Amino acid sequence: MQNNTAEKLDVNRYLLDGLNPEQREAVITLDKALLVLSGAGTGKTKVLTTKIAYIIENGYAFPSQILAVTFSNRAAREMKERIFNMTPGADAVWLGTFHSICAKILRNNADLIGLSNNFTIIDTDDQLKLIKQILKELNVDKKVANHVANAISRWKDKCIRPNDPRVDATSIEGKIYAIYQERIFSYDSVDFGDLLMYVVRIFKENAHILQKYREKFRYILVDEYQDTNMSQYMWLRMLSPIGAGLCCVGDDDQAIYSWRGAEVGNILRFEKDFMNTKIVRLERNYRSVGHILGAAASLIAKNATRLGKTIWTDGDSGEKVIIQRAYNGFDEAKIVAEKIEKLRKDSVAFGQMAVLVRAGFQTREFEERLIAYGIPYKVVGGLKFYDRQEIKDLIAYMRLIYQTNDSLAFERIVNIPKRGIGASAFSKLHTRAIERNISLFQASKEILGENSLRPLVTESLTTFIKFIESMRGQKDLPPAQIAKIILDETGYMNVLTNEKTLESQTRIENLKELLIALEDFEDLPTFIEHVSLVTDSKRNSTDDVVSLMTLHSAKGLEFEAVFLAGWEEGVFPHSMSLQEGNLEEERRLAYVGITRAKKYAFITYAMNRKVYNQWQSDLPSRFLAELSTEHVVHSKGKTGR
């Protein structure tokens, strides 16, 4: 007995000695429903992994009796590796994403809802393809496919089935949902939303199954609890109705995914949802210097709906957060590029620097400045500006207008937007071009003269060819004007506008940004050459590159130096979020951005910015005034730290 006690003391000393008091308290608390409020950079993963090892090593549960849920496969892999290094047998822990855990439960109980245990999980591409098929069957324009897919996903996020009264069965979305769900069920398939919805249904309709899993999982740990949606919340509440053995880790100040269905209210009402609760606040930050943390804390304190905590460090205060005003967007990008060069000379690696923007369209000016300065970069979580689909489409139109023999450009846009020129018709054009060694444009004109295509294809192709030829007569117009005519007369912009999805809105913003970029070019040849040079810039083969990304993509990352750009009203906070009443989420996004920085944080804003070819002067972001003057400094110089 003494030996066992000594062994436990040694193990616990090994597991707990490296923890601060709050982390230790979070690890050893097992008799309450525990919410660990973990601020940015406070070591939440260390707490989660150590708690699992602590439970196993002290014999409180077998590994197979522990359920640990993450939000990404990457996080699950990292946790598994850390736990395995601390304790043997960790492979038996049920550790994975909500979807992977529910897939496992569903395969074991698929017969209860009429599926085989070999059901197929379809991805988002297959989901969209099926929705488009159904739209075609109903003679509905396929351009609403993304909108319908989003509507279906939001319903499933709330465990709302097609026959639920909350689904308007007479609407296009409701009709498609009913057919879609019946169709994939007949295919013995499920999508990601079904995984949770079906498991919740099984638990509701089969009390003995629910009880089996309640008894199986003695301890349940959930990471990033602030990002849970309603179906994930319902699933968790069913498994742990009173919270016995439950530990949820999260940060209400980093809840930034409401547009994806996340419900910040899940974490805010934790104490009301479960019995015998305890909250442990992890506030000691191991990432950032004091002034950065002070600035972030002063900003997020302005949010009313939060549980409350203040991150701090016992390390150096470091440099204050620098706020710098730029004359316009070009000047802003130039200031950032020059600061990056200065930091690089001061031995900060490119790979330890990031430029964070609110929306993807903002990356264009920074990309062009970084290229001009010879600074290697990568766009994280997205494509480089000139690699984006809508940008390449519009440029392909401009290339074809400039040079009709450009068959690659012709091939890209002959059926964009959709004009009924399918694979069969294009094959005839391609064969003729090869046989006669002529361009696709010339081959089209020849074939049209022979009346060998179907009438509808003939009409569409004729209209397309005439449009390109008419634009050839206007190719000396300013490039921005040419681009605007293309977007208007082809209906490209209308198609995106009518989709009414977040993706289509992002693509519209990118096209508007391209129109602004085109204002800098006097003629079409100059712009086309510029694009060729920009897109030909080689990607750096090493990891030592500046990261360029949106604030949403930056969550969970950290850098020595962070540049937060475009802090103006309407840009950040974003005008759409303000209209929707999501100011507090925008503030949380700003908090996330600032806390990515370890040593240096720079915030820039422009006095003037071109939006859709019109100059506008927006007020500086309200967030700037909310930063404590104790932790920030306004730079008067144009460059330098």
- 428 catalytically annotated: no
Among 254, 324, 363, 404, the one annotated catalytic:
254
Q: Which of 334, 369, 596, 598 is catalytic?
A: 596
Going 240 to 242 to 247 to 249, the CA torsion angle's sign is positive
Q: Judge whether 223 counts as a catalytic residue.
A: yes
Residue 44 catalytic?
yes
**Choosing from 57, 194, 223, 499, which is the catalytic residue?**
223
The single residue of 157, 191, 194, 224 carrying the catalytic annotation is: 224
Residue 388 annotated to the active site: no
Task: Give the closest residue to 468 by CA, choosing from 437, 441, 492, 440.
Answer: 441
How far is 146 from 77, CA to CA, in rounded Å?
31
Active site residue 596: yes
Residue 22 tokens read as 């709050």
- In angstroms, the CA 416 to CA 394 distance is 10
Give which of 462, 486, 466, 521 is closest to 393, Cα–Cα.
Answer: 486
Q: Is 254 a catalytic residue?
A: yes
Catalytic residue among 45, 310, 403, 501: 45
Residues 185, 189, 194, 198, CA torsion sign: positive
Beta strands in 359-459 (DSSP E): 377-379
433-442 own/partner pairs: CB under 8 Å, 24+ apart: 433/407, 439/404, 439/405, 439/406, 439/407, 439/410, 440/407, 440/410, 440/411, 440/414, 441/400, 441/404, 441/405, 441/407, 441/410, 441/465, 441/468, 442/404, 442/405
Q: How far apart are CA 487 and CA 518, in angstroms?
A: 14
Nearest alpha carbon to residue 151 among 444, 500, 505: 500
* H-assigned helices in 229-317: 230-239, 265-268, 270-273, 290-300
Return the exposure string of 485-520: e unless at least 16 CB atoms fall within 10 Å of the residue's CB, then b: bbbeebebbebbeebebeebebbbbbbbbbbbbbee
Strand order in the sheet with 219-222: 94-97, 66-70, 219-222, 246-250, 33-38, 277-282
Q: Pick from 372, 341, 368: which is nearest to 641 by CA?
A: 341
The one catalytic residue in 44, 334, 339, 384 is: 44
**CB-based contacts of 155: which residues, under 8 Å, 6+ apart?**
161, 164, 166, 167, 177, 193
Annotated active-site positions, please?
A: 44-45, 223-224, 254, 596
